[in-house]
Amino acid sequence: MVERRWVDLDGARLHYQRAGAGTPVLLIHGLSASSRWWERNIAALAERFEVYVIDLFGFGRSRRQQRFVLNEAAALLVHWMDALGIERAHIVGHSMGGFIAVQLAAGFPERVSRLVLVDAAVPLPRQSPLRHATRLGRELRATPPRFLPLLATDALRAGPWTILTAAEQLLTADIEPELAGIRAPVLLIWGERDTLVPTTVADKLVELLPDARLVMISGAGHTPMWERAAEFNNAVIAFLSGS
């Protein structure tokens, strides 16, 4: 059973979902997204772990609580973990959520057991907003039609200002120096057809991270956890279980 909860963080309320029991696993969504993007993964992961899925400030049910600041998100999640009494967790981040997950693992290594980066927007190739928009357009054309209503609804809920400012922060950030300091084992999961964050980023991350392995999901684009949920879930469960 999935429970919906809120926690107060210095006067702003953060929405999250919780399911299952065992070692905590935190799922972090990406830009223009929400906790709903993990709906095909929660039940499978909750059979083995205690799963937490958050709505970052500015997105989903937390969208009206506080503005989103990319470089504050990792510390905010540690604050959230403290509020819930979670000393250490596995962290799974998708796209922009992968960027946040890297900052969390690099800045607070004692809080992260294992790290899963899903088509993570780190380190992004330097590109102009126009080039990024072109990549986004290509990815949208390849997105499964059944996923488009979810994507559109969450983008509208977040609003253009939140999305544009977060995208600018992401595209201008330099997180590469932090990668070598990550001590946790890392699993990279990538959709082989991702045109927004291409597989060359995954290849570079394998080189830069001290302890990383890559699983490429055939036929998937930027959202393999939704497009190929069973394959994604099996890979994550095996890795988080120590296989």
Beta bridge partners of 229: none
184: nearest Cα among 89, 120, 99, 78: 89
Q: What is the pLDDT of residue 27?
A: 98
**The CATH number of 3-240 is which of 3.40.50.1820, 2.60.120.260, 3.40.1280.10, 3.40.50.150?**
3.40.50.1820
Residues in the chain with pLDDT < 50? 129-130, 133-134, 137
Distance of CA 41 to the CA centre of its chain: 13
Backbone phi, then psi, for 30, in 5-degree steps? -105, -165
Would you call the peptide bond into 123 cis, given omega within 30 degrees of 0 as the criterion? Answer: yes
- The pTM of this model reads 0.92
**CA gap 165, 115 in Å, rounded:** 26
**CA gap 97, 119 in Å, rounded:** 10
Q: Which two tokens stand for residue 138?
A: 């290509």
pLDDT, tens only, 67-80: 889 989 999 999 99
Q: What is the pLDDT of residue 127?
A: 52
Q: What is the pLDDT of residue 134?
A: 46
Domain locations along the chain: 3-240
Q: Please work out, in degrees rounded to the nearest 5, the angle formed at the alpha carbon of residue 216 by the alpha carbons of 174 and 158.
A: 50
Q: What residues contact 56, with CB distance under 8 A and at least 6 apart? A: 28, 29, 62, 68, 73, 97, 100
Q: Please work out, in degrees rounded to the nearest 5, the angle formed at the alpha carbon of residue 120 by the alpha carbons of 115 and 123.
A: 105
Beta bridge partners of 59: none
Q: What residues contact 61, with CB distance under 8 A and at least 6 apart? A: 15, 34, 35, 55
